[in-house]
Every structure is written in C-alpha cells, then in structure tokens.
C-alpha cells in the first residue's frame, strides 16, 4: 500500500501548494474507518482507495478530488456518515463522496428501463460535479486492474459493464488512455483467447521486422530537425482490443491489418503542428481519406489534434497525431483538464472545456427524450460515436455522429428544416436521404411547404435529436386519431380485468408510466407504443404477473394429457383468451374449438370425445391466425393504408383474398396472425376507426372443418 507521505509527494510534484494536512487527515480517517476490512485478494481494503487516489494524481487533480478518492467508500461501507465527513473535511468533499456512493449503488447493466433511469441519475450527478465521475472511473480502473481475485461470473459481469458503459464514457470525456486501458482489461476477461492471439502475432511481427517504433520515431525526428522544428516524438503499438476491433470491423486478418502502430508529435506551438504535418507528408505518402484536423474543428470535449495516416517503411501504414503540449494535456485528461494543477495553481489551459458547458451540451438532447428506450438510445449514440464535420452552403460547420444522413443534418440545423425536408444535395449533387455523410462535405437541404416527416425516416436517421423530432411529429400528426382509438382500447383492457377506465385511473397510469398526462397515455396506446396489458399492469401489477410469462405454443392449452397434441379448428379459429373445448380424434390428437362454434353440433351425441380445456394465461406469441371480413372504399392507396394500419397494430397479414369487387367498394378476407382475443379486439377497433373502412367483422366458416391448422 502507498504510504501517506508517498501519496502527498505525488500530489506535491504538480501542486507544491497542496494542503498536506487535509490529505493526511483523510488518509488516517479512511484507514481507521476501513480497519478490519479486506478485499477478496486478502489485502487490507484501504489499499483500494489509496490506489484510486494515486491514479487521480496522474491527472494532476485538485486536493478535493484526491481526498474524495481516499474517502469514497466510507459512507457506503463503514460507520462514517455524511455529517461526520462534512464536519471533518467540508461540504464540498462530503457532497463529492456522497455522489460517488450513489453512483456505486446504480445498477447500470440492469434491464433497459432501469438502465435508462439509472443513466439519468448518472448524468444528473455529472451535472452537479463532474469530479464525481472522475473518481468513479478511477475506482473502476483499479477494480479492473485487480479483477483476478473475483469469481469468474463476477469478473464477466464487471468486464461487460466496463466495456459497455465506463470505457465509452471515459472516451467521451476525452480520457483516451483510460478508455483504452479499460477496454483492454475488459477484453482480457471477456475474450482471453482473442487477446492472447493478438499478443502472439505482435511477438512474431517484432521478430520479423525488428524495433519498427524506434526506427520510425528516429526517422520522424530527423525530418523535423531538417526544417527546424523542435518536437517530441513518441511511438507505440496499439492496444490489443483496438486491433481486435479493427479486425472485426474491416473483416481483416492480422497480417492484412496495416495501421497497428501510432505516433505522436508534440510541438511548442500551433504553427509548428502544421509545419510538422507538411514535413511528414513530404517524406511519407499520405493515405487518402485518413486526414482529420481537430485543431481547426475541435471535439466537444476540447480535444484538439491533427490526425493523418501515412505509408511508412515497407509500405506499412502508421497513424500520426500532431498537437501542442497544452493540446496534449487535454488529450490525456479530457474534461478533467479543467481541474488540473501545474506549479501549485490551476492550469490555465485555453483548450480545457468548461465542465458545466460540456455536461449541459451532453444532457440537453437526452433531457428531451420522454421514453426510457429513446433516452437510452440517445445516451449510447452520444457516448459511442465518433464525429463527422459537414458544411452548410454558407460555410458553417455542423458536427454529426459518424453514419449521419442528410435528415440528421437537416434536424441539426433546425427542427422546422428537418420536418420540411424533401431531399438533399451533397457537394452540389442530389442524393437519397439515406446517404451516409463524410467529413468535409457541403450539404444543402431541400424543403417544401406542407411536407411532414415519414415513418421510414426513423430507420434512416441516426442522431437522437432527429429521431426524437420525427417521433414527435408523427405522434402529433396522428394524435387525435390515436387518442380516440386509445380510449376505446383502454376501456376494453380494463374491462378484461373487471375494472373501469376512468379519468382518475388514466391519470394514475400517466404518473406511474412517467407520461405528462392521460392524453399521452391514450395516444401511445392508440399508436401501439403501449399495450393494454402494460397499461393495466402499471396500476394493477398483481393482475399482470402471470400474463407476463411467455407461453410455449406447443403447451398453450391447459387440460391435455402429456401425450396429446392439439390443433386449432379452422372453422372458428379460437384465440387465446376465448372459452374453448376440445374434440378428440383417433390418430389426430385434439382439435380445439371456440365454445360457440356451430361445428360442435355434429358432436352432441359423442360426449366421450369432449374435453374441458382453457388457454394458458401467459403471454402468447403472435402466431394464431384469425380471418377478418373487411369492406373498404375503392380509392387509390386505401388498401396500402389498411395493410400499414394492421402492421402498426403488430399483426402480420398471412393471407388476403378479394371476395367481391364493386365500382365503389371492395370486400376482402384478410388472415392475420394474432396473440390473443385482446389483440384481435385492438385490431378490429383500429380498423373500425379508419374512415376508409365501411365494415369489419370476424369471419368464421363451419365448412372449413376438413382441415386443421395451429
């Protein structure tokens, strides 16, 4: 364990004016509070907080953050209280320790709804003080470095959470070194064979080529000296996980992967960055499409650097990053550079981002998301994606995630532009809306009055902002129709469990489901974004417990012996939720009929063949076909709208037959695959609400008894 004097020396290296007494007091208090506690490795538990504090000294962080690291587990794991920490170390430290404790208790790898809610809490904690996340990331890094002491299943869970959440978050904050180490430590747990194979290939490559890094750094220093540029040049092999990911993305073997080495050139000033770039490009051939200038177009976390890839010795590609010392400090510590100390004072780094503005920009879009699922999507889009920079016709820069389309570009400018978009031009050429934009392209959006977003845009857009605006516009366009339909579906859903759909019940559901009001509940119910079962379960969870169980279609009927199979009678096509009886057949198992099926009259004198059956009460798959007789107006596009409406209700059309054609109407039979009787009722209600539907009814035909179909 690092001694207190050694820890203070680490802080004093970058902050000679550090409050040594405060750090010593925190060290002693943390050690006393954790007395008698041990890690799974057998080491005293306090070795962990001290190691976390040491990691944070590498980022030259302030005294309050170092003290928080030493105390970050005291409120959670010891008898220490918030008030005691506040009395001893001040309000600032107490709130930081409390924030880290709350983050530790969040289950970020839980179900999607819980995960989204916990991400909201995580970003709320970030908005209060970003240092909470810095301590938490250092805490996770040390836990990953010592993960071998944990049980294998716990290792896998922690490693997956690290790969999915903490590593991307570190990268999003600009702490690239931490992201790479977290990814590699998690990779070692999740795919040890893959990592070992990469390491073996590296050893073989070094034997074949020698010390490539030493030779190339020497060549670069020589070229820079020729043009009078003073600079530091560093080279390194990329981390095993970074190489593995490139192999997976590009579907290449290790031998065909070229840019596995990276080099950094650190200059004295910005002008020298561009001069160094010229010298390197003059000596080595630049690889087209692999140049990025983050100095003139910085990332939102303050990152500035020039990236280029060149063909080095033996045609091997190498990546080169060129930046100044101050830019390098931000590149190493990201948003944390705001708190960095140098020579006893807070570093006045002009490239460090204001944490409050950074968090505000990051959470602004996420705060607009109402749905848990949409919020989670927005979080992951923000954390996982790289950026592309495009230009408006006036030369203004628009930042978008990699893979963005003209629709994303339009909504990035203004929601009104996005909603009215009918097309786009890229570098003066008309392109489809699904075109993926590239760095440096000029994009012009073509708009038209009266245009409204299309449902297909959701599959084209990639940014959370665009998807949110499209969903909102689509909901508003159909809102009144969906509210009317939702009211009928809510009435039916409550009646199915013996309850009434009152305004008070709907208000309660809106509060529990985190919707603004009852109209929003009804609109989402009518648009199939919310099911009647989910609505009822929100208020009466005890009525939905068994319904949530998934039912095996082969055991969907209760009352059969283990050796009996069943088929649904095609004459009445009974659905889960309807009263049923079974008729036994020698060699054919059991045919299930609805209790009111006319075909049952043929078996009235054979009571020994009748079985009393009922459907399983759980959640059935949508595989049960029912026939509907639908009369629709004979107008252009009507049939397409009806088919779309059926799809919106999560029903699949399995058969369609025209039975009558007239100049003014069509009558047709539509076979639809449904979950249960409630699903049928929802679909019929939706069709009846459509103005182009003259009539809709369930179709049953006793003559169909000759064939059976499950």
Catalytic residue numbers read 76-77
Contact 53, 1 (CB under 8 A): no
Closest Cα to residue 185, out of 159, 154, 156, 150? 159
Sign of the C-alpha dihedral, residues 583, 673, 531, 618?
Answer: positive
Segments in 59-191 forming alpha helices (H): 63-71, 74-77, 82-89, 91-104, 112-128, 131-145, 152-161, 167-172, 176-190
- How many helices (H) and strands (E) in the chain? 30, 22
Q: How far apart are CA 570 and CA 558, in angstroms?
A: 20
Pairing of β 652-661 and β 292-293: unpaired
User: Residue 514: left (phi > 0), alpha (psi -120 to 50), or beta?
Assistant: left
User: What stretch of H or E contains 614?
Assistant: strand 610-615
Which residues is 631 bridged to in the sheet?
A: 667, 695
Rounded CA-CA distance 486/10 in Å is 64
Give the tokens for residue 543. 């009525």
Contact 331, 174 (CB under 8 A): yes
Do residues 119 and 108 lie in contact, with contact meaning Cβ atoms separated by under 8 Å?
Answer: yes
Cα gap 259→267, rounded to integer Å = 23
Q: Is-contact 40 48, C-beta < 8 A?
A: no
Inter-residue contact 693 to 670 (CB < 8 Å) = no
Which residues make beta-bridge pairs with 673? 625, 652
Q: Report the C-alpha gap between 76 and 98 in whole angstroms.
A: 9
């Amino acid at each position: 364990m690092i001694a207190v004097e050694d820890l203070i020396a680490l802080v004093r290296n970058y902050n000679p004016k550090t409050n040594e007494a405060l750090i010593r007091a925190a060290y002693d208090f943390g050690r006393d509070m954790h007395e008698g506690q041990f890690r799974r490795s057998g080491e005293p538990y306090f070795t962990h907080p001290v190691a976390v504090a040491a990691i944070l000294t590498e980022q030259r962080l302030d005294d309050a953050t170092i003290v928080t690291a030493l105390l970050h587990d005291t409120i959670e794991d010891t008898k220490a209280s918030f008030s005691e920490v506040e009395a001893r170390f001040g309000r600032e430290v107490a709130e930081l320790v409390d924030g880290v404790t709350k983050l530790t208790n969040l289950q970020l790898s839980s179900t999607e709804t819980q995960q989204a809610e916990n991400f909201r809490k995580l970003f709320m904690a970030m908005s209060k003080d970003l240092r909470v996340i810095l301590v938490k990331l250092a805490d996770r890094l040390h836990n990953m470095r010592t993960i071998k002491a944990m049980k294998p299943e716990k290792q896998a869970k922690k490693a997956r959470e690290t790969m999915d959440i903490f590593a991307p978050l570190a990268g999003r904050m600009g702490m690239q070194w931490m992201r790479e180490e977290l990814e590699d430590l998690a990779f070692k747990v999740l795919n040890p064979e893959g990592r070992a194979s990469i390491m073996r290939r590296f050893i073989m490559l070094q034997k074949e080529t020698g010390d490539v890094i030493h030779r190339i750094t020497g060549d670069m220093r020589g070229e820079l000296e020729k043009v009078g540029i003073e600079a530091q040049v560093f080279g390194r092999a990329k981390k095993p996980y970074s190489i593995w990911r490139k192999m997976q993305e590009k579907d290449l073997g290790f031998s065909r992967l070229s840019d596995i080495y990276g080099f950094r050139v650190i200059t004295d000033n910005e002008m020298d960055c561009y001069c160094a770039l010229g010298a390197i490009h003059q000596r080595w051939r630049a690889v087209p499409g692999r140049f990025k200038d983050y100095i003139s177009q910085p990332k939102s976390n303050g990152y500035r650097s020039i990236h280029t890839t060149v063909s080095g010795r033996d045609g091997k590609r190498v990546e080169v990053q060129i930046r100044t010392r101050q830019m390098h400090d931000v590149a190493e510590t990201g948003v944390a550079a705001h708190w960095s100390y140098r020579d006893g004072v807070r570093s006045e780094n002009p490239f460090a981002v204001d944490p409050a503005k950074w968090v505000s920009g990051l959470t602004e879009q996420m705060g607009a998301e109402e749905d848990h699922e949409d919020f989670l999507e927005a979080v992951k889009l923000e954390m996982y994606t790289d950026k592309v920079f495009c230009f408006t016709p006036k030369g203004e820069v628009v930042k978008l995630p990699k893979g963005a389309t003209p629709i994303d570009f339009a909504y990035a400018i203004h929601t009104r532009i996005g909603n009215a978009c009918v097309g786009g031009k890229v570098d003066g050429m008309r392109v489809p809306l699904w075109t993926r934009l590239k760095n440096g392209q000029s994009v012009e959006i073509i708009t038209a009055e009266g245009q409204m977003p299309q449902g297909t845009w959701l599959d084209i857009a990639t940014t959370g902002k665009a998807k949110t605006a499209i969903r909102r516009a689509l909901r508003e366009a159909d809102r009144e129709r969906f509210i009317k339909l939702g009211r009928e579906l809510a009435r039916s859903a409550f009646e199915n469990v013996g309850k009434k759909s009152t305004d008070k019940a709907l208000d309660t559901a809106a509060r529990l489901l985190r919707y603004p009001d009852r109209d929003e509940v009804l609109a989402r119910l009518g648009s199939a974004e919310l099911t009647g079962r989910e609505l009822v379960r929100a208020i009466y969870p005890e009525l939905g417990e068994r319904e949530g169980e998934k039912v095996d279609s082969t055991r969907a009927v209760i009352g059969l012996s283990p050796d009996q199979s069943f088929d649904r009678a095609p004459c009445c096509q009974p659905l889960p939720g309807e009263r049923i009886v079974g008729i036994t057949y020698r060699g054919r198992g059991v045919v299930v009929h609805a209790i009111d099926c006319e075909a049952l009259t043929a078996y009235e004198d054979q009571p020994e063949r009748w079985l009393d059956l009922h459907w399983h009460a759980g959640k059935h798959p949508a595989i049960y076909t029912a026939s509907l007789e639908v009369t629709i107006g004979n107008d252009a596009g009507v049939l397409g709208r009806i088919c779309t409406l059926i799809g919106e209700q999560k029903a699949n059309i399995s058969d369609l037959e025209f039975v009558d054609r007239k100049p003014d109407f069509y009558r047709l039979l539509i076979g639809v695959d449904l979950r249960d009787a409630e699903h049928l009722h929802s679909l019929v209600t939706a069709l009846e609400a459509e103005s182009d539907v003259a009539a809709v009814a369930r179709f049953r035909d006793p003559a169909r008894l000759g064939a059976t179909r499950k």
